[in-house]
Every structure is written in structure tokens, then in C-alpha cells.
Structure 1
Amino acid sequence: MDLGMSMTTRGGSEQADNIVRAINNEPEEGLGQIEFFDWDEAMLKKEIDSFRKRYYALPDNDDYDAWAPISDQQLKDMELRFAICRIKAHKMLKGEDLSIAELRNMYPPAMLEEEGYFRRVERHFEWYFDRKYCEFAHLEDYQRLALRNPYHYLDWEFYHKNCNTLQGDREYVYFWEKLSSKTKRLKNFRSAKVSEQERVELEVFYHAVKIAGECTHCFTPLLHNGYNEYLWSVRYDKTRYEDSASLYFDIWKLVAKQKYYTYVAEINGNVPEDEAYEKVMEAVKKFIGKSKSYYDYAKKKLDIAEKIGLVLPAQRGRTVQRSLHKSSWLGGNTKKRAGH
């Protein structure tokens, strides 16, 4: 199921609400009355084409205005900003936490230039400023920041190429966390019946459609992919973490009068079962690896950007919707994703 396909069926939030109500209350009767389930190919194509007109991503490669090269003065100013970020990060590794203002007083522009803008210290970090993205005038500093360790992520190359904006990443985190809070039934749902599993996942699908409609500054490909990664994450937790934890927890109950010495956990028989299960789960998550999603990527990148002074911290408690009026990069370009 493609999140992008269904976004064309959304007339505000009313359609999504009707679908969720139908699934929750009268699924067999309700689904027959829902638009999208009985479309022919012509109608489906029409709706997909309509959605593509609202597609939002990086501009095409041949859009010169969007990918205008950075000027010499812009490049120098950018290098000065990045140098201070590198110094701040380097000092944080040594336990020093100085403000951007303090660092600017300590390291004047001439010193930063003489030291090669301290590019050499980047190799010690989990992040770097991508030199390719530093060539373009209209990108945000945040878009130029990239995370290392591509093998830790489900699709690092895809994340990096989409080059999301600061507001876009904050919206993506909002999308994922709100979807998680709205779909707790999926996390707790276990059934051998395929039809029941599909019905629950359909509910998740339309929650995703509804929430994605609020995220007008997040690049569309990331939202499409986010729905699939969210389902993968929930399934992984249930099949790998929960099943393994249940197995080791059952073993613990069998030997509860002894100390449970294994590479999983060390729990004695006096620990309450709820607490024992939580300890087993914590241990299982440590030795069973899980690839990281774009949610993990965006969360980590936002955290790093704030800590090194690249961006101002987000105002806590401020909703995504209240900041949607702000223009994102290039005023909301809706062209296809570039291959940068």
C-alpha cells in the first residue's frame, strides 16, 4: 500500500476520519462505502496524477535558480559558521560547553581561516558537512549536515539524497510520533488471521494519510517511506524483540528460584514478574540488532544540530501546525527530487 496514492482521496481530514470510524465499528459494511476500494484503473490513475501535482521534494537537477552555485562571500561566511560548530563539538567531547558567542570571541575569522576552518576535527565526529551540498547557495546549513555510519540505517543513501530541511525533519519526527500514539492497537495486536491483520494495518494507513496532510514542509518521498518504515519497525519489535523476550522470560520463570545467569540478563527469583520482563526486554534489545529508520536519523541529526549551535533549539510544547505558515526552502518548491 502506497501512502502517496491515498493522499489524493483525502478531502481534508473528513475522509480519513470516516474510514477509521468504519474500520473500528462496522468494517465489513463500512469499507464497501469508502471511496478508493472500488475504483477502476482509470479513476486510480486520475487520483495519482492529481496527487503528483502536489508532490514536494528537492528541485530537478536542471533548475538553475534552485541549484545556483554559492558565491565566494557566501562560502566564506558559511565556512566561518561551520568552523565554530566544529570547535564547539570538539570541546564538548572534552567536557567543555561554551556558547557560540564565547567561541566567536575566542576564535576570530583570521584564526579560523588560518586553521583551515578546523575541518580536520570532523573525522572525530558522527557527522560531517557534506562538501557537495556546500556548493549550492540556497540550501540551509542544516541540509548540509549529514550523519556517518550508513550501515546502521535501513536506507542511508535515500535519507541523504532527500536532504530534508530543518522544518521538514521536525515535521517528520512529529509525523512518526503522532502515528505511533494513534496506532497503539497495532503494536499490541496479535492474530493469525490475515484479514484481521490487514484491517488493523489499514487503520494505520489512514492515520498516516491524515497526519501526513499536516506536514506540508516535509519532503513527500520521506513521508511515503516513513509509513513503510513504521510498519517494518512495529513488526520487527513484535517478531524479534517480543518473541525473544517471551522465550527468555519463560526460561526465567522455570528457574526463578535460582539466579538467572545467562548472556541475556541476571535476575533473581525475588524480582516481580513485570520488572523481570522489562529487564529481559532491555537485555534482548542490546544483543539483537535493529537497523535504524529515518525517524532515528532525523532525531539524531536534529539533536546534533542543536548541540553544536547550527540551529536554535525547537520551542518545547509548540505544535508543528502553528509553525506551518513559515516558508521552507525556496518557498515550497514542488518539483521532483533531484539526484544530488
Structure 2
Amino acid sequence: MWTKAKYQAIRIATKFDNIHLELASLGFMEFIWRTRIHVLFWKDLDGVFFEIWKLVIKDQVCFKKALKEVYDLGKFPSQELFMKAELDGKFRMEKQFLRCTVGITKEVPEYRARELIAQQIKDKLVLSHGYEQYAGKKLKIAEYIGLIHRTST
């Protein structure tokens, strides 16, 4: 299945001008690795932080106790390893939590708090930028200095 997806992605990408086989292959591999990293580190983190935020902000519970309650719920299996490591004192999740919930007070509606937490995770924690950001930056520079002109679509 993986090989078939790779070949299809490369076949589609190489139909565009200036995209060579090696470039298309590297872009696909980067996509796969970025997806794996996302699942390993970031999947459901917004849900974990949101549940902790509700307990800390609304119920005035300390971070460790809130984390223990969220861990015991078992709702976020993709984050259980990190939560357990934090509870055992082997990981520092609290600093990440504070960075992602700063300024989100109890007056903020819950649906909005979850959105803000997810956005903060994306902005402050997910640091790896891939080929698409690099290429987009280079295209903006080329457009700015007049090497290419933006085409309307």
C-alpha cells in the first residue's frame, strides 16, 4: 500500500514542470515522516491540554492532580506515554501546557478555549517546517524580486 501511494504521488508530482523524480520522492518521504511525527508527538495533545485547562482554571486543581485525572480517564491513548512520564517526573509537560494556555481565562467559552489551545500548540510547539514552507518562502522571494509573476487562478 505504501509503495503504491509513493508511486502515485511521484507520478502526479512529476507531471508539473521543474519537478524531478528525486524531488518528488523526497517530498513524499518528508510527508510520511512529518505525519509519523505528528501522530507520535502532537495527536490529541490539544484534547489533553484542554481537559487539564478545565480542571486547573475552572476547578482550581493543581497541574499534577489535573494531569493524573486526565490520565486516569484513558481518553487519549496517543498521549498516555508522555502523561505517564510526566507523572513519574521524567518529562516536563507542564511548561508546554503553560505556554499553550497563557491568557486563556475561565471567562473564555470552552469551545473557544479548545480552539485557542490547538492554535497555540501549532504555533509554539510544532516547530518543524517542511519542504512546502521552504518552497513557499522561496516563491515569495522570487515574486518580490521580480523573477516570477503571480498568476491568477
TM-score (norm 2): 0.60
- Which position in structure 1 is the counterpart of 2:122? 285
1:234 to 18, 30, 35: 35
Residue 277 of structure 1, CA deviation: 1.9
1:273 to 110, 127, 134: 110
1:42-93 deviation line (CA, Å, top 9, x unaligned) = xxxxxxxxxxxxxxxxxxxxxxxxxxxxxxxxxxxxxxxxxxxxxxxxxxxx
Structure 2 residue 49 is matched with structure 1 residue 248: yes
Paired amino acid for 1:264: C
Measured in 2, the distance between the counterparts of 1:279 and 1:211 equals 36
RMSD, matched Cα:
2.9
**Rg larger in 1 or in 2?**
1
2:100 to 260, 264, 274: 264
Name the SS of the counterpart of 1:267 in structure 2.
coil
Q: What does residue range 1-340 of structure 1 map to in structure 2 within 5 Å?
A: 201=2, 204-205=5-6, 207-257=8-58, 262-265=98-101, 266-313=103-150, 315-317=151-153
**Is contact 2:46–2:114 with CA below 8 Å preserved after alignment?**
yes
Paired amino acid for 1:311: I
Paired amino acid for 1:294: Y
Measured in 1, the distance between the counterparts of 2:27 and 2:21 equals 10
Measured in 1, the distance between the counterparts of 2:132 and 2:112 equals 28
Judged with a 3 Å threshold, the aligned counterparts in structure 2 of structure 1 residues 303 and 216 are, in CA distance, closer, same or farther, namely closer
Judged with a 3 Å threshold, the aligned counterparts in structure 2 of structure 1 residues 209 and 218 are, in CA distance, closer, same or farther, namely closer
Residue 257 of structure 1, CA deviation: 1.9
Which structure has more RCO (C-alpha within 8 Å, separation ≥ 6)? 1
Measured in 2, the distance between the counterparts of 1:301 and 1:227 equals 19
Unaligned runs of 5+ in 1: 1-198, 318-340
Residue 271 of structure 1, CA deviation: 3.3
Measured in 2, the distance between the counterparts of 1:270 and 1:211 equals 49
1:14-62 deviation line (CA, Å, top 9, x unaligned) = xxxxxxxxxxxxxxxxxxxxxxxxxxxxxxxxxxxxxxxxxxxxxxxxx
**How many residues are aligned here?**
117
**Is contact 2:10–2:24 with CA below 8 Å preserved after alignment?**
no
Paired amino acid for 2:100: V
Residue 226 of structure 1, CA deviation: 0.5
Residue 283 of structure 1, CA deviation: 1.6
Measured in 2, the distance between the counterparts of 1:281 and 1:215 equals 34
Measured in 1, the distance between the counterparts of 2:106 and 2:4 equals 41
Measured in 2, the distance between the counterparts of 1:257 and 1:288 equals 24
Percent sequence identity over aligned pairs:
32
Paired amino acid for 2:146: G
